[in-house]
Structures are given as structure tokens and as C-alpha cells.
Amino acid sequence: MSDFGFEISDFNPAMSHNEVFQIDEQPSWGLNWHLPWWLLAAVAIAVAEWTAHPVLGVVIFCVKFGFNDWRTAAWLCRMDPNGTRSRTIWWFLLGSGFLKIFMVSVFVYPLLALLWGILINPPDGIEFVVSVLVGMLGILFSLVVTHTGAVLAARRGVKVWLNRQLHEHRDRNIWPPNLSPPNQLKSIIDGSSMPAIGGFVVGVAFAIVGIMNGALPAAATGALIFVVSAVILLSHAILLKRIVARTPSECWGEPRRPAVVTDNVLLSEEILEDDDSND
């Protein structure tokens, strides 16, 4: 189903859903524009300073980095005629957005706020607390969402291939995506697994310390955290072998001769060539 509410094959039965089509690009002045990250950072920190509400500055700066993936997830659900594939990959794009929010909130924003404080105003400690809190929530959501996507992909038999090129296809409204290596799905899943890795280490430490000190409740708590984290990491390793596409075509199919969508009318390349020759 395309943005116009019709199936591509409705116009030409000989065409399959794997054919490439492109919708005329339309300028967007909504949330589809891009700001330099340094300008966005300055605006975010300034909002935090001037409004005395640091959460506003953190959210402005961090959500921007997750929103691009979420926009692509929404676009994919609108454009992809294969509903099972789009609803499955949607989870990974959602998790990738949360992962980027974590990275920016925990590593980038505190450094920028510290630099702002050195050059202009002493930083308020609450800004760091808020940024780290947003980051922790982001990585926890990323773990849950990405793990859900991996389970669904394995159950539905969906092979997944994702990288930044999918955003470029969204911006140009080209379908199906003609992606090239690398496949960044493993990086997304590994990044979202950080809470499980941390839980594994902390659980082992708690269990050992609890046993050495005879503190059975602490040892039991550590063992429980260790087991849960180990199960998550093991399941990720198993699921990855089942859901990672070896080639882009294994996920998106082989692209065929292009067609163009113009004024709700789908013209195959052959029709366009005939029109040119008649002229």
C-alpha cells in the first residue's frame, strides 16, 4: 500500500511489489528539516539555562537524535506492501532511536553542558542528573523494544537488513530500498544489550561478595540478576543467527526496472519510453 492508498499492481498486473518507484519529492517545512548538531546543542543548553527547566534543554537536544529513526519507522509502515516485514523492522528502528538518545544523553550532552559552564555559566548539577536519567530510560526502552523486535522477527521468519541508507530512501520516497553493506542490525542489538551486559557483571559481583560475606539475600539477588542477564544475552546471540539477512535482497527483495508515481498515476519505464519516442 502506498502513500496514495492503492497497490502498485492495481495499475499494471505485470508489475510486482519488488519494483522500484519514486514519488515526486516534495519540500517539507515541518519536522523534516535538519539543524546542525552544534546549533541544536546551543539552543538546548540555552533553554535549560534561561527557563530554569533543564529537562527542556535535554529533551530538545536528545529527542532530535532519536526522531530520525522514528520517522523512518513510520514511513516504512506506510510504504511497505509487506505488512509483516514493516511491522517487524519498525521495532528495530524504534529501538535504534532510543539507543541514540542514550548515547547523546549520557556522553554528549554532559560534555557540552560542561563546556558551556566553563565558557559562559557554571553548570547546574541538575542538568547532568536529568541527562543521565533520560539516557538510562532510553537504553532500557531500547533493550525492551529491540528484544521484542528480535523475537517477532524470528517467529515471523523475517530477515532484517538495516543501515543509514534507509533514511535517504525515506527522504527521497524511493521504494523498495536498494541498500548496500554494511548491515547495522547487529550493532543496534549489541548496543541495546548494554543493560544486560551491565547486569551480568553486577550480578556476578553481588553473588560473589554475598557468598564471601555470608549475606544470602545479596547473593541470591546477584544470582537472579546474573541469570536474567545471561538469558537475555544468550537469546540475543541465538536470535541474531536467525534474523540477520546475509544480503540486502534477502530482506528487501531484488529491485527491478523503475517506475514513477506522478499525480497518482503509475507509469512503467516502458510506457515512459514509448511516450518519448512518439514525441
> pLDDT of 107-162, one tens digit each?
877 777 777 677 766 656 777 788 888 899 999 999 999 999 999 999 999 999 99
Pairwise pLDDT comparison (229 vs 271), residue with the higher score: 229
Give me the pLDDT at residue 265, please: 43
Whether residue 35 lies inside any domain: the answer is yes
Res 264 pLDDT > 50: no
Whether residue 7 lies inside any domain: the answer is no
Give me the pLDDT at residue 65, please: 81
Whether residue 235 lies inside any domain: the answer is no
> Quick one: average pLDDT of 195-220?
90
Pairwise pLDDT comparison (16 vs 181), residue with the higher score: 181
Q: Per residue in 154-185, pLDDT tens?
A: 999 999 999 999 999 998 888 888 899 999 99
Res 263 pLDDT > 80: no
Answering whether pTM is above 0.85, one says no
Range of the domain at 24: 17-192+247-278
Sign, CA torsion 49/54/58/61 = negative
Comparing 40-49, 62-71, 125-134, which segment has the lowest mean pLDDT?
Answer: 40-49
Whether residue 46 lies inside any domain: the answer is yes
Quote the CA–CA distance of 167 and 146 in Å, as a whole number: 19
Res 2 pLDDT > 50: no
> Quick one: average pLDDT of 202-226?
89
Quote the CA–CA distance of 178 and 170 in Å, as a whole number: 11
Whether residue 271 lies inside any domain: the answer is yes
> Quick one: average pLDDT of 212-225?
88
Whether residue 62 lies inside any domain: the answer is yes
Overall number of domains in the chain? 1
Whether residue 241 lies inside any domain: the answer is no
Whether residue 125 lies inside any domain: the answer is yes
Quote the CA–CA distance of 155 and 152 in Å, as a whole number: 5
C-alpha distances in angstroms, 237 versus 144, 227, 233, 242? 15, 15, 6, 9
Checking DSSP bridges between strand 174-175 and strand 265-268, what pairing results, if any?
Answer: unpaired
Of the candidates 90, 70, 248, which has an alpha carbon nearest to the alpha carbon of residue 159? 248
Give me the pLDDT at residue 121, please: 67
